[in-house]
Structure 1
Amino acid sequence: MGTGSNTYQPPEWLTSDFLQDVLKEYFKDDTIQVQNMIVRSACEPGKVQGFASEIHRASFDLVRNSEPGKFSVIIKDHPKGYTGMIAQKSKLFHREILSYKEILPRIEELLATIGDNTKMSPACYYTTESPEPFLILEDMEVSGFKSFEKQRLLNLDYVLPTMEKIAKIHACSAVLAAKDPKMMKFFNEPPISRNPERKEFLGFFPVNIRCVAEEVAQWKGFEEITEKLFKLSENVLQESLKMYDTHAKGFQVFNICDLWINNLMFNLDDNFEPQDVILLDYQLAYFGSPATDINYFLFGSMNENVRKVHFKFIVREYHRHLKETLEKLNYGGQIPTLKDIHVEIIRNSLIGVIASTCLTPLILMESESCGNLENLTSRTDDGDKMRRENVQNIKYRAYLQKTLKEFELSGFLDV
């Protein structure tokens, strides 16, 4: 087995024989042989990804029935050190393994009953939680899927197919939960919770909002917004807890909860237009208001000019797919109206503020680093330096100036 690098070290357990056994079992094909395997890091240069995972790509010759071909898989491995500690305490891998093994297959099976063959996520070939958790997943690049361009936010053509899939996931999960409420029990904990085991992880939100406030404080005409941002940085966790506490009373769905550009892959046609999208990461999955995914995605990953023009149209399209899917599946509960969805978006607007101040700077960042969870969640020297560079980025400044004015006029910054 090779690595293609003088410094990179793959997991010791990742061997050709092990992958061969995994694929034989998954495909129910004893003729499979894995040969000439090369393992590399799957973290793309300049791409912010894998904050809570070590991600590898194993490429090899796959022989089936004596017919050779090229194949590859993605290995999502439990990280080491500080990041591993946070991942373990927050049960990120347990949550993702449950998603891939228990929730996503049932969603696709449910859609198939109404003649909808939508594929939501990569196939999961293998998972384990002992001695340390990891997942072996389908490499979507084999099917022609690619990540979005670096340092850019999504336009309408990319947002609409993503929202359609999110609507279908939400609809199917509501149906599944109505039939078996216990299925979603583990996902009742929101990303910001009172769980003391999440203490280190939660530092991500106040430190990033404060950094944005310090930058905005230097802008003429943003004095009131600056004051509100500093106040929000001190109260974001408490306000988030109050917001999430309201979710148990309303329409609840399975949220990806980390829905942003770097957790999406797109299949493009010959004209480079998106034809399909795959949703990748479920480490923060949460059963709550659908506005969780909607706000995080539309305010964190969508171009601000597109949002200004098309926001209501996008939400209407989301609702159309949600309603159609629920009706086809004979959902017995009350289907939210379009107005209900807009009310939920406003009630949970803090999620949009968090996405625009904590997430969007990472999308537009110019650094070539893959990122470091300790720097993201605490006031380290490297972390502060990275945050300052991110918020001083010309692209992010242009985005933030428009978005903060929008938040201010809507009352989203008032706490």
Structure 2
Amino acid sequence: MPEQIVNKFHVAPVWLNRDYVEKKLRVYFKDAKLELEQLQIQPATANGENYASVMTRINVEYKDKDLVHHNATFLVKTTFADKDPAAHLLEPYGIYVREINMYEEVLPKLAEILRQEMGDPRKLFAATINVDRERDSIMFEDMSLKKYYVADRIKQLDRQQTQLVLEKLAVFHALAALLNEKQPGIFAKKYDRCFFNQHTRGYQPIMQNMVKALIRSLEDDEELHQRYAGKLKGVVEHIMEYCERAMETKKNDFVTLCHGDLWTTNMMFKNNDHGKPDNVLFIDFQFSVWSSPAIDLQYFFHTSLQDDICHTEMVHFYHQKLVQALNKLKFKGRIPTLFDFQQQYQSRAFYAIFAGFCFLPSMLHSGKEEFSIARAMSHSKIDADFRAKLYKTEIMRSKLKKFLPKFDHKGLLDDM
């Protein structure tokens, strides 16, 4: 797909021009006489915040049918250009079609249930201006204009932010469970693959390369290397198999639509007048999957929480909110007890290995040198050295000193 260069790390498709934007705004505002006067294009995310798509912010000036001038800002999400290695890797996962399906078919229904049956006026996600299936693109309202913000991915989330996310996540999961109850099978076929599934292992080179980089990074710490290097070699061999196993659902599991990629930059907070967060929106539904909500918790806890937050306590908090939401929605299915759900959570524990060892290092990367899916897949020595450096930062080494013994004590580093 042809591109227009926005900056060194960001490209936008050439079709994202004045004529295209004007046509979409005319439809959205139901104004055939709307005239686009100016269009500015700039990156919407910083380096290191998005690896599966291109986010572009467009600033527009337009004149409506009454000749009134307006300024507005929107976000446009597009796929990687076809020549990017990420496009080849991501295509079998169907992430672009899945997210378009979410915004056209699922999220509006969830929003309606939220308003009508829960009476909650707060948003769960941004409104959609346009969905373009031909170009695999989505145009959103820019929630930053309504004072929504993305939290600092390096500092991660504090207790208050975490509980707000879990409250809204429980509602999201409950809404999806009810929608599936009303329309049985709506999710089973279209939402059957996340990072791990029975259809493709496209992410395998990345997962294995990252764990190998972790092993290399421990070479300058004799104690850690001696204790964990041998076990981590087994993780390299089995990571895809064990994570696929964690995705499997059992007969009595509570199952719903999961976000699938729930970490700091895939949510936006809004503060109240006292500077405290009182709402959070979820964004980026490319990896949404029909599975146990425990995978969302494992992934979220091991990529986005500050170190002093107790995971077991947060599982309890989430469960309380889930039960409240399901009861309010008059869900007729089986509602898991806390004991049942704690077991469900623990049975997905290996998902934390992938989140904490494979994705977290790039999520916490703040250097000037760009990290990308292509660099994660590469076999070159330069890229292998770069991956190992990701684990040697002060913040990542601190995480490893916490995660390694924790995972080892749970038996997650042993053959299973």
Query: Does TM-score exceed 0.5, indicating one fold?
Result: yes
Unaligned runs of 5+ in 2: none
- Contact preservation (8 Å) 1:48, 1:369: no
Assess if the C-alpha contact under 8 Å between 1:161 and 1:276 holds in 2: yes
**Separation in 1, partners of 2:294, 2:76:** 31
CA contact (8 A) 1:43 1:370 kept: no
Structure 1 residues 26 and 211: alpha-carbon distance in aligned structure 2, compared to 1, 3 A threshold? same
* Contact kept in structure 2, 1:366 and 1:390, CA below 8 Å: no
Paired position in structure 2 for 1:294:
297
In the other structure, the counterpart of 1:124 is: 128
Deviations 1:191-238 (A, max 9, x none): 21232xx34333221221222123235434433333222211110111
Aligned partner of 1:318 in structure 2 is 318
The Cα offsets for residues 289-316 of structure 1, whole Å up to 9 and x where unpaired, read as 010100000111111222xxx3233222
Distance in 1 between the 2:255 and 2:372 partners? 32
1:12 partnered with 2:14: yes
Question: What residue is the counterpart of 2:166 in the other structure?
Answer: 163
Q: Secondary structure at the match of 1:342?
A: helix
CA change 1:4–1:271 in 2 (3 A) is: farther
Instruction: Return closer, same or farther for 1:28/1:316 CA change in 2, 3 Å cut-off.
Output: farther
1:55-90 C-alpha deviation (Å, 9 max, x unpaired): 211101244554433211111112121222223232
Q: Who is 2:308 aligned against?
A: 305
Is residue 115 from structure 1 mapped to residue 116 from structure 2 by the alignment? no
What corresponds to 2:212 in structure 1? 210
User: Contact 1:33–1:63 (CA<8 Å) still a contact in 2?
Assistant: yes
CA gap of 1:10–1:244, structure 2 versus 1, over 3 A, is closer
CA, structure 1 residues 285+5, in 2 after alignment: closer, same or farther (shift >3 Å)? closer
TM-score by length of 2: 0.90
Q: Indicate conservation of the 8 Å contact 1:299/1:355, yes or no.
A: yes
Written as runs of structure 1 = structure 2, the 5 A alignment for 1:201-350 is 201-222=203-224, 223-247=226-250, 250-269=253-272, 272-306=275-309, 310-350=310-350
More deviation, 210-219/52-61? 210-219
- Give yes or no for contact 1:194–1:241 (8 Å, CA) kept in 2: yes
Q: Name the structure 2 match of 1:52.
A: 52
Mapped partners of 2:256, 2:247: distance in 1: 13
Matched-pair contact (CA < 8 Å) for 2:38–2:62: no
Aligned counterparts of 1:27 and 1:371: Cα–Cα separation in 2: 39
Q: In the superposition, relative to structure 1, how do residues 5 and 199 fare at CA in structure 2: closer, same or farther (>3 Å)?
A: closer
- Aligned pair count reads 405
* TM-score between the two structures when normalised by the length of structure 1: 0.90
Q: Provide the residue aligned with 1:192 in structure 2.
A: 196
How far apart, CA to CA, are the structure 2 residues paired with 1:200 and 1:4?
28
Q: In 2, Cα distance between the equivalents of 1:334 and 1:188?
A: 22
Q: Report what 2:69 is aligned to.
A: 68
CA distance in 1, matches of 2:164, 2:382: 37
Give the 3 Å change call, closer, same or farther, for CA 51–164 of structure 1 in structure 2.
Answer: same
2-structure distance, mates of 1:171, 1:381 = 47
Aligned residues with identical type, % of pairs: 23
The question of 1:412 aligning with 2:412 is answered yes
Aligned counterpart, 2:27: 25
1:92-149 superposed Cα distances (whole Å, 9 cap, x missing partner): 101111111111111111111121123122212212222x311111212111122222
Q: Which amino acid aligns with 1:137?
A: F
- Per the alignment, in what secondary structure is the counterpart of residue 125 of structure 1? strand
CA contact (8 A) 2:206 2:376 kept: yes
Q: Which residue of 2 aligns with 1:363?
A: 363
Which residue is 1:354 aligned to? 354
The answer for the alignment partner of 2:375 in structure 1 is 375
The residue number in structure 1 matching 2:78 is: 77
Q: CA RMSD in A?
A: 2.3
CA separation of 1:161/1:34 partners in 2, compared to 1, >3 Å: closer, same or farther? farther
User: Contact conserved, 1:248 with 1:288, CA < 8 A, in 2?
Assistant: no
The DSSP-based 3-state class of the residue aligned with 2:202 is helix
CA-CA distance at 1:37 after TM superposition: 1.1
